[in-house]
Structure 1
């Protein structure tokens, strides 16, 4: 059964711009991005990095660095790390801007050092703004108490490529839609980057060289989402044309189409898609999609979470949600998934295998959830007393975290006592009946 609670302690931080996308840069650093666009509203565009920690009672966040992107808002992003760099691919209008993020461990500067270096916390001309650090070491954020060191993030702008070219949306519409990248994903092996946008194409690039690999004319309308399979051999695309398609990454050919009979015979449109591993067998994969009903008013529409076999595209199970869905995240081990809603700002956590809802956070945000990220189960440096935790963002400028406490189970000794008691009653009953 789902447990509902009000979001009274989930706020991690507030920023001064609307948020559209987030990524985990390290196992304890989260990047959020967004902005006010090119209009001169005074709302900045860019991204911020926060360091997460659990203080024994709740999660806390510490701002590490902020990077402004000028007049271009960051609507989507993807990150990948290797032994040398962390790469960030950021969607900025019709282009994808690649950043190399150098992460170094340096001695923490004192207030006096910071005052001598630069006014207003500006460290260089790249647009980065580092907040002044406390002069005392902190155990809360990875310090040992004996050292005064911090992580420093240095963003190096690399190539920028055009990934979408726009098109007319219908035969009656003679005006080309403005080109806009809607989604970017990097394969788990780190060798391929995929982008999709208004023109309906799925464009694959060799990564990080950004040399063209495949241009797939996938959909007749704009893309909503993309995702790579765990083995990086397949990529799924969903679009406003109502189709969910899975492609071969090497050849660019169609492998299968997601086909299912919607609940109650109502037509649904796919909104988001994510692959996940099968917890019991990591060689297999599951595919999760969220979709929303059409033909009804937006506030009365219902959403559906569907689970598919990742290799064959066979529908496995689905559950209905009495709200329009807007965001989806699947944990790295495939055990949990989280969804966000369009109007109430609610966040749900489900079990990946059964799709059973195990937690409800009503009103996590004041408006629709634009992004979700489940904290990784593997290699996570943040220790807490929760079974799962998900970060959520919205255009209400809030970054929130919601943790699922360990679900109660019977202690082993009690299970043994119950079994012995049942066996005793069975033996007594058989003796009484003369069996």
Structure 2
């Protein structure tokens, strides 16, 4: 698909019975659609529908298929009637762990926000022809509460709604924006236990804008709200006290002729809060143009700066979404186009021009994995939690788009590499003690006659002394090499030309040299690689650094993106995960560490876990790709993904050492259990203190009575 318009029409996975304006991914198998015809008696239903996403063989002849030839469809599993209101804005959040199927749904119905709850998975009773009478796994949402979220006199209307997701499985706040220009922050627990006869008041009410609040979002740490008003102003607010932190400045690159259409926080960054903003022209014209900008907000210094600003398309953006990992951004347009972008550089990865017949109303990213329980076994009442491939597991990223043309479409960006080259290595690159780099033709090696002598395709006199390490970029165009002469060079694979020498890092100076280097799968315009730095002169106080570099081949410029201290030891080996998001090191002292590549922040460190220096590190796969068994009357072998050995973890590695041991190391996913454990411990300590006070008071009373 690349960054050019998609040639093949994206598959329509569902047809809506009524106009739908909202789409949300719920868990790992379902999407929720909402919309309707409103209060007008036109015969158009007002519904919230739950659809089950599946790959199956039912009616394969006329259904669109994924890249493996498996038919994909969104099956209607259940529906809730919302008469007389059409749902125009919606958000969904998980209650507890996702495998339990408990969710809260907030739907905007005129001046009200209606709250629905699903209390677990259920089987639908489908007896219609469409599903062949099958019972489908569904989530049955039930109405539990209603709150008034707008108080404008005449034309009161809730425009937008978002849950606070700072505590996984424990939504604490609901934030709404309305036509009266006010932002209201609600206590979710109070809504959940609200009496039907009582009137609930918001925890916080902010007079935010002159006119409608068009859009808002809550940061992932739950501390900051960003809001967009019909007055073309964008503000950042503190959730704790409602203080207005700052106004988003005008982008100097595009000027005042553009305004923010939509905005979303990302999971990127730790020191700064990173968010994406979509810009449209204020005055519409026949030559429309829109931009995407990546912003970094530093809360401590109250400073907001643009990181990347790039033209998105020559159309007007209607909707925006950011993936859970933060690495991908998706847009829909008024012309019916759908696009996916790399958030880090805002480069288009996928664009389907006018794929819908009319404007796109919603976009949602699909999950890469499904979390569930294993079946109960004899003599074992425990339910083990396990991860299976999700509906997007075969793709780099995947989304569904919703339009006023009443269709739901599936869009995906395949893995970065060209599939015509996957599994077909073309070159082998070696470096030796003679200081030379040699590039060999793999096909010639494979078919080499035992009596013949093979010559390299390319021989480069690279270094004075040994070639200590080298790597080849994922596009196969660039080699980076490290010599015993402490030089690091970048080379063109095509002709062996030396492109440049890696400059000295100003942050650490000439006292350090590169020990190892690895290219990553990050970046699209630039080639991104990781370098590990050790001290040239060893000392008792060792220190090492990790640096993330960006190399622009066209301009032949290489700049450091992140430089951070790795550990107080000497690095012996380096590895980067296939996705590029994680970096691992081993040290001469036997320690093993895992880092977030984007910020080089330590996620895991096992100090001196090996008895002697670490000789190798390797990342483990999240999935296993295999063939389905052959079926009767079907000789095709369908390719399918199963959970890999690292599927239960955020990332996992094995380390090898000269102590002749192989160890397993992993970074777990963030879970609510740690918070629950903390609250349990706090409760025990509190109970103990109360008991101690009661005991001491009782003893004092007894002594007084004796005297």
Helix, strand or coil at the partner of 1:60: strand
Does the 8 A contact of 1:274 with 1:328 survive in 2?
A: yes
Mapped to 2, the partners of 1:181 and 1:351 lie a distance apart of 32
Separation of aligned partners in 1, 2:189 and 2:49: 23
Tell me the residue number matched to 2:225: 235
Query: What SS does structure 1 have at the residue aligned with 2:85?
Result: coil
Q: Deviations over 1:7-32 (max 9, x none)?
A: 63420111121111111121110001
Over the aligned positions, Cα root-mean-square deviation in angstroms equals 2.7
Matched, 1:89 2:106: yes
Q: Which residue of 1 aligns with 2:282?
A: 294
Among 127, 145, 162, the residue aligned to 1:185: 162
Aligned match of 2:391 in 375, 382, 401?
382
Distance 1:54 1:318, change over 3 A: farther
Residue 73 of structure 1 pairs with residue 73 of structure 2: no
Alignment of 1:240-259 (within 5 A): 240-259=230-249
Alpha carbons of 1:291 and 1:242: their partners in 2 closer, same or farther (altered >3 Å)? same
Query: For residue 213 of structure 2, what is the aligned residue in structure 1?
Result: 223
Gap runs ≥5 in structure 2: 57-67, 192-199, 371-388, 431-436, 441-455, 465-707
Which residue pairs with 1:127 in the alignment?
none
Q: Deviations over 1:298-334 (max 9, x none)?
A: x433211111014342111111221111110000001
* Cα separation, 2, equivalents of 1:408 and 1:79: 34
Listed one character per residue, the Cα deviations across residues 269-304 of structure 1 (whole Å, up to 9, x for unaligned) are: 2111100011xx56654110112112343x433211
> CA 1:296–1:152 in structure 2 vs 1: closer, same or farther (change >3 Å)?
closer
* Correspondence for 1:156: 142
Match for 2:438 among 415, 420, 427?
A: 420
State the TM-score, normalized to the length of structure 2.
Answer: 0.51
Name the CA distance, whole Å, in 1 between partners of 2:42 and 2:309: 43
- The CA distance in 1 between the partners of 2:133 and 2:217, in whole Å, is 40
Distance across 2 between alignment mates of 1:45 and 1:322: 34
Q: Residue 52 of structure 2 contacts residue 138 of structure 2 at CA under 8 Å; is this kept in 1? A: no
Aligned to 2:396, the other structure's residue is in SS state strand
Q: Secondary structure of the equivalent of 2:319? A: strand
Note the 1:35-434 alignment, pairs <5 A. 35-55=36-56, 56-57=68-69, 58-83=71-96, 85-106=102-123, 134=133, 150-166=136-152, 176=154, 178-188=155-165, 189=167, 190-210=171-191, 212-278=202-268, 284-297=272-285, 299-311=286-298, 312-320=303-311, 321-342=313-334, 344-377=335-368, 379=370, 381-382=390-391, 384-408=393-417, 414=426, 416-417=428-429, 420-421=438-439, 425-427=459-461
What secondary structure is seen at the aligned counterpart in 1 of 2:17? Answer: coil
Looking at structure 1, the residues matched to 204 and 304 of structure 2 have their Cα atoms a distance apart, in angstroms, of 22
Change (3 A) 1:408 1:152: closer
Quote the residue 2:661 is aligned against: none
C-alpha distance in 2, partners of 1:288/1:186?
18
Q: Is the 8 A contact 1:54 1:383 kept in 2?
A: no
Measure, in 1, the Cα distance between the counterparts of 2:12 and 2:131: 23
For the 8 Å contact 2:367–2:393, the answer to whether it is kept is: no
8 Å contact kept, 1:64–1:131: no
* Aligned 8 A contact 2:367 2:391 in 1: no
State the Cα distance separating 1:267 from its structure 2 match.
1.6
Residue by residue, what CA displacement relative to the aligned partner does 1:195-243 show, whole Å, maximum 9, x if unpaired?
Answer: 0011111110011423521001111121111111111111111111111
- Partners in 2 of 1:77 and 1:264 — Cα distance? 31
Please give the alpha-carbon distance, in whole angstroms, between the structure 1 residues aligned to 2:428 and 2:305. Answer: 40
CA offsets per residue over residues 139-184 of structure 1, 9 Å max, x none? Answer: xxxxxxxxxx7434322211111101225xxxxxxxx4x0110111
Structure 2: distance between partners of 1:378 and 1:258: 36
- Distance in 2, matches of 1:314 and 1:74, equals 35
TM-score, normalised to structure 1's length?
A: 0.81
Contact 1:372 1:391 (8 Å CA) reproduced = yes
Change beyond 3 A, Cα 1:241–1:428: closer
Q: 1:223 to 1:415 in 2, by over 3 A?
A: farther
Q: Which stretch of the first structure deviates more once superposed, 420-429 or 403-412?
A: 420-429
CA distance in 1, matches of 2:367, 2:139: 21
1:7 touches 1:362 (CA, 8 Å); kept in 2?
no
Aligned residue for 2:41, secondary structure, equals: coil
Task: Tell whether the 8 Å contact from 2:263 to 2:277 is kept in structure 1 after alignment.
Answer: yes
Higher RCO structure, 1 or 2 (CA under 8 Å, sep 6+): 1
Q: Who wins on radius of gyration, i.e. which is larger?
A: 2
CA contact (8 A) 1:98 1:157 kept: yes
SS of the aligned residue for 2:413 comes to strand
Post-superposition Cα deviations, 1:364-398, rounded to whole Å, max 9, x if no partner, equal 21111111101134656325421111111111111
